[in-house]
């Protein structure tokens, strides 16, 4: 028994708030700090810019969230973005001149969606074939990352592809509110799927206890394969928005995206071991990383140093998750 119940209560209350709303508090703190350090941070145009940039990565994060909810991991999404980027821009350059631009855009989008779905399903198949666990998903998708990166480089012969296609639907994908709306509507759909449909609840359950899910008659393998496919398609959409914005494609376009995505998902609070978290968490995580990245840019931290932050953020996020778990375990012991 604590001698000072008042202080004790206050402390537990603070911990409780920190635990449940830590990400939100972090977000607000970063915004306040950045706007103090740099006036130009808190302007409408900059905030819109942040949202626009965060949206591209955000879509990828939605897919990664699904995979991580099942207790898996996908390190190949970065290269998938690269491959889709070069394929999409090549299609646009070839067929998307002048007025044909819109139909070419549709062709490009559906082609890369199909390619990425195929890549994802391949990931999934390799993983479920012999019932791989977290460790194996890491190594297998790491191998896929290298294979697909090589394919992207082979596709262009290592060359950077400049955009030469006409404006239209493809360009629209990254202008104004389009990417933000795309991200938020996709997030809404995926949130509903995850939280309110049998499919989504089975995804979470697989993450919570895969063996139990299998013994409960859930088609674990099928769902896992599908989830990797969905994750791939999200990568494809990300590649479209990114290439549309920069009006070009590099075979190294998506290098490191997988790290950003994993960091954002983990910061949001989706657990590495699966089963807890969700899309809302990921949206918050994406915003935190987006604002942080922009703030670092505005303040003038260079890209290399930001890599340091990214790694640290993954570790801090996981560390906090473990801390959170140990506290709830202690509470339950009482």
Partner 1 sequence: MRPLSSNPRLPHGFSTFVKQKTSKRETSVEKYILEMRDITKTFPGVKALDKVSFAVKQGEIHGLVGENGAGKSTLMKVLNGVLVPDSGTIVVDGVPVTFRNAKQAQACGISLIYQEFNLVNTLSVAENIYLGFLQTGRAKFIDWTRVRADAAHLLENLGFDFNVREKVQNLSVAEKQLVEIAKALSVNARIIAMDEPTSSITKKEIDKLFSIIRRLKERGITIIYISHKLDEVMAICDSVTVLRDGHIIDTKIATETSSAEIISKMVGRPVDMKYPRRPPIIHDEIVLEVRKVSCAGFVKDISFSLKKGEVLGIAGLVGSGRTELVEAIFGARPLQGGDVYIHGRRTSIRNTADGKRYSMGLVTEDRKETGLALHYSLADNIVITNLQKLCSGIFVNKKLMQANVDQYVQELGIKTPSSRQAVMYLSGGNQQKAVLAKWLFSEVEILILDEPTRGIDVGAKYEIYLLMNDLVKKGKSIIMISSELPEVLGMSDRVIVINEGRKKGELCGDAISPEAVMSMAIQ
Partner 2 sequence: MSKIKVNKGNPLELMFSQTVLFLLFGFIIFMAIVKPSFLTWWNIHSILIDVSIYGVVACGMTILIISGEFDLSASSQYMWAQVLFISLLNVTKNPPVSIGLTLLSGLILGTINGLVVTKLHINSFITTLGTMTMIRGLCLVFTNGKMVSTDNAFIRAVGSAEFLGMSSFFYIYLVALLILSLILAATNFGRRFYATGGNLEVARLAGINTAFQKTASFSIMGILCSIGGMMLVAQLRAGSTQYGTDLSLTCVAATVIGGTRLSGGAGNCLRTALGMLVIVMLYKALVYLGLQAYYQNLVKGLVLILVVMFDLFMSRRRAMTR
State the nearest-atom distance from the C-beta of 223 to partner 1, in Å: 10
Per-residue interface string for the shown chain with partner 2, residues 97-136, x marking contact by CB under 8 A:
-----------------------------x--xxxx-xxx
> Is 214 an interacting residue with respect to partner 1 (CB under 8 A)?
yes
Q: Which does 315 bind (CB under 5 to 8 A by kind): partner 1, partner 2, none?
A: partner 2
Number of Cβ atoms within 10 Å of the Cβ of 140: 22
Of 230, 281, 278, 196, give the one whose Cα is nearest residue 74. Answer: 230
> Is 309 an interacting residue with respect to partner 2 (CB under 8 A)?
yes
Q: Tell me how far apart the alpha carbons of residues 108 and 104 are, in angstroms, rounded to a whole number.
A: 6
Report the C-alpha dihedral over residues 95, 115, 201, 289, rounded to 10 degrees.
-70
Q: Which does 333 bind (CB under 5 to 8 A by kind): partner 2, partner 1, none?
A: partner 1
> Is 311 an interacting residue with respect to partner 2 (CB under 8 A)?
yes
> Is 196 an interacting residue with respect to partner 1 (CB under 8 A)?
yes
Complex with partner 1: residue 209 or 297, whichever CB lies closer: 209
Instruction: Report the site for partner 2 in 68-97 (rule: CB under 8 A).
Output: 73
State the nearest-atom distance from the C-beta of 122 to partner 2, in Å: 10
> What DSSP line would sit under 206-253, residue for residue?
HHH-HHHHHHTT--HHHHHHHHHHHHHHHHHHHHHHHHHHHTEE-TTT
> Is 162 an interacting residue with respect to partner 2 (CB under 8 A)?
no
Q: Which does 219 bind (CB under 5 to 8 A by kind): partner 1, partner 2, none?
A: partner 1
- Do residues 87 and 260 touch, judged by C-beta distance below 8 A? no
Q: Tell me how far apart the alpha carbons of residues 66 and 69 are, in angstroms, rounded to a whole number.
A: 5
> Is 154 an interacting residue with respect to partner 2 (CB under 8 A)?
yes
> Is 296 an interacting residue with respect to partner 2 (CB under 8 A)?
no
Distance set, CA 244 to CA 113, 167, 168, 199, 215 (Å)? 15, 10, 10, 32, 46
Complex with partner 1: residue 186 or 286, whichever CB lies closer: 186
- Give the pair of three-digit tokens for residue 52: 């626009």
DSSP secondary-structure letter at 275? S
Backbone angles phi, psi at 161, to 5 degrees: -110, 120
In terms of phi and psi (left: phi > 0; alpha: psi -120 to 50; beta: otherwise), the region of 38 is: beta
From 27, 50, 54, 213, residue interacting with partner 1 (rule: CB under 8 A): 213
Q: Which does 272 bind (CB under 5 to 8 A by kind): partner 2, partner 1, none?
A: partner 2
What are the residues binding partner 1 (CB under 8 A)?
A: 192, 196-198, 201-202, 205, 208-209, 211-219, 221, 275-276, 332-333
What are the residues binding partner 2 (CB under 8 A)?
A: 73, 126, 129-132, 134-136, 138-140, 142-151, 153-154, 158, 259, 262, 272-273, 302, 304-312, 314-315, 318-319, 322
């Amino acid at each position: 028994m604590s001698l000072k119940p008042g202080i004790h209560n206050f402390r537990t209350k603070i911990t409780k708030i920190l635990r449940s709303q830590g990400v939100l508090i972090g977000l607000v703190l970063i915004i306040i700090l950045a706007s103090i350090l740099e006036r130009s941070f808190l302007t409408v145009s900059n905030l819109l810019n942040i949202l626009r940039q965060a949206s591209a990565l955000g879509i990828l994060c939605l897919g990664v969230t699904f995979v991580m909810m099942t207790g898996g991991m996908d390190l190949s999404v970065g290269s998938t973005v690269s491959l889709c980027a070069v394929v999409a821009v090549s299609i646009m350059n070839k067929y998307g001149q002048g007025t044909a631009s819109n139909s070419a855009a549709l062709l490009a989008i559906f082609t890369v969606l199909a390619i990425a779905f195929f890549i994802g399903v391949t990931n999934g198949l390799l993983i479920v074939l012999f019932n791989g666990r977290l460790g194996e998903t890491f190594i297998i998708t790491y191998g896929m990352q290298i294979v697909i990166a090589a394919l992207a480089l082979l596709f262009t012969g290592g060359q950077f592809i400049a955009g030469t296609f006409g404006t239209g639907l493809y360009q629209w994908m990254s202008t104004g509110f389009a990417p933000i709306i795309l991200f938020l509507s996709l997030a809404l759909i995926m949130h509903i799927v995850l939280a309110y449909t049998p499919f989504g609840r089975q995804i979470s359950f697989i993450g919570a206890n895969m063996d139990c899910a299998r013994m409960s008659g859930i088609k674990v393998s099928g769902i896992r394969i599908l989830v990797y496919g969905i994750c791939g398609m999200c990568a494809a959409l990300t590649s479209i928005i990114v290439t549309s914005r920069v009006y070009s494609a590099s075979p190294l376009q998506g290098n490191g995206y997988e790290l950003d995505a994993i960091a954002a998902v983990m910061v949001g609070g989706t657990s590495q071991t699966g089963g807890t978290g969700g899309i809302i968490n990921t949206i918050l995580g994406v915003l935190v990383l987006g604002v942080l990245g922009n703030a670092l840019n505005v303040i003038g931290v260079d890209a290399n140093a930001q890599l340091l932050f990214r790694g640290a953020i993954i570790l801090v996020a996981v560390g906090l998750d473990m801390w959170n778990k140990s506290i709830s375990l202690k509470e339950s012991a009482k």
